[in-house]
Structure 1
């Protein structure tokens, strides 16, 4: 009897941030080496990149940004550490948060000519207090919940296989459980497991070791994030690792790894 393959949603984050990322995402999507991408719609490379996404059979989501300037029309952004403090102290203005999220939705729809398949947050901000409330309010008002999913950062088997490193533990503590409970209460679709968290250093070899562990431990309905780019942007602090991830994801070694662990890359089933 043939063994059933595990279905993995592999999501490339930060589409639109620069042309190197856009090129990598489009190449990997065309080669069926990723199955989703999450987009920074305020960034300069988003409008031109969005046109190239329209013909690709992948999930295309909104990567909500509240921590970087990115473009001239972004009137709300704060450094991550300050945003975390303000959110936990309930010092953010709900109306400002909702307006920023709405604007990013508008930019997505303007250039992609469609609504997002899913929603998540740049640096996982969508799970923070107040921000998750603003996001849910916008989604309820604008969209049909049958047409999208929300990325949960709650980690189970796949991330635990790597020891739930300090970075993964911190992300979990910053609101993953609360976000998941909220999604359950309002019956929004979300992924059952999440992986892809590591120090974003170490080149292709380290990324390959992590990917092997994530795929080996993955269950159904998992989303694994990645950050590929076709070239190194010297202004990007993780630019070198982005290029290393891209080199591995397009290699025969990655195809072999998927086959070894009986994995198939798919769009997320809502």
Structure 2
């Protein structure tokens, strides 16, 4: 019996090289879909390129609250218009130094840019550096979709990953209570989250993918970050060369052979 696994690429829209690599893999049937970052100047062009895949791929919103330019400009969230690093985000929100309304406004702006460019709501929502697990973002999700019957799916909490237990545990702690609360509000949760590894050790990506082939349940999700390195990516994000490695593994003949051998297929984007 064939089993399906869900492979979702993060960071569509981060840079042209990242977007091109993701589109290539979607077109070849090597990804279920991708989460979009809508805050960059190139978003409208990137959205036009992915629009033809709306009926075959899962196209989601990758909420971004760290390290990039804020759509809404300067605020308590983004002094001088730049979003803070993750280490400077969670505690200041809890202590009131970052106003919740500034967070809500930024999330609204990113969501509205998705709607305007693609003409419909995202199939799912997750977060860059897992910011969708933060209390302020949970509140936004509950408020924004309080009266919607067709809510987007949400990426849920992870399992402990072999070789990345510390990182997995930190994400799981951030996600504590998320699955239960969001299910209770009527959201579909994609869980467990897999694909967590130390990207500074790119040789660990292929084993993490193989583990997903062997064990990932159909309700789960494997996140990945394929891409091609270009000047824009180098200016925006430290995760660079490893994206080429992920792209090569996902696009390889060997990956297809391993899927066939295990009786596994990549889930259709509209399941």
Normalized against structure 2, the TM-score is what?
A: 0.88
Match status 1:230 vs 2:233: no
Partner of 1:243: 244
**Structure 2: unaligned runs, 5 residues or longer:** none
Q: Which residue of 2 aligns with 1:109?
A: 115
Given the alignment of the two structures, is residue 263 of structure 1 paired with residue 261 of structure 2, yes or no? Answer: no
**RMSD of aligned residue pairs (Cα, Å):** 2.0
Q: 1:185 — aligned with what?
A: 184
Query: Any residues of structure 2 matched to 1:97-246 within 5 Å, and which?
Result: 97-140=103-146, 144-152=148-156, 154-156=157-159, 159-160=160-161, 162=162, 165-174=165-174, 176-203=175-202, 205-232=203-230, 233-235=233-235, 236-246=237-247
Aligned length: 259
Compute the TM-score of the two structures, normalised by the length of structure 1: 0.88
Unmatched tracts of structure 1, length 5 or more = none
Q: In 2, are the aligned partners of 1:101 and 1:135 still within 8 Å (CA)?
A: no
- Shift in CA distance, 89/136, structure 1 to aligned 2, threshold 3 Å: same
Give the distance between the partners of 2:144 and 2:185, measured in 1 at CA.
Answer: 13
The worse-fitting range, judged by mean Cα deviation, of 71-80 and 177-186 is 71-80
Instruction: Name the SS of the counterpart of 1:219 in structure 2.
Output: coil
Structure-2 residue corresponding to 1:40: 37
Superposed CA deviations along residues 86-137 of structure 1, whole A, max 9, x for unmatched, are: 2444654232222111111111111122211111111101101222112221
Deviates further, 29-38 or 81-90: 81-90
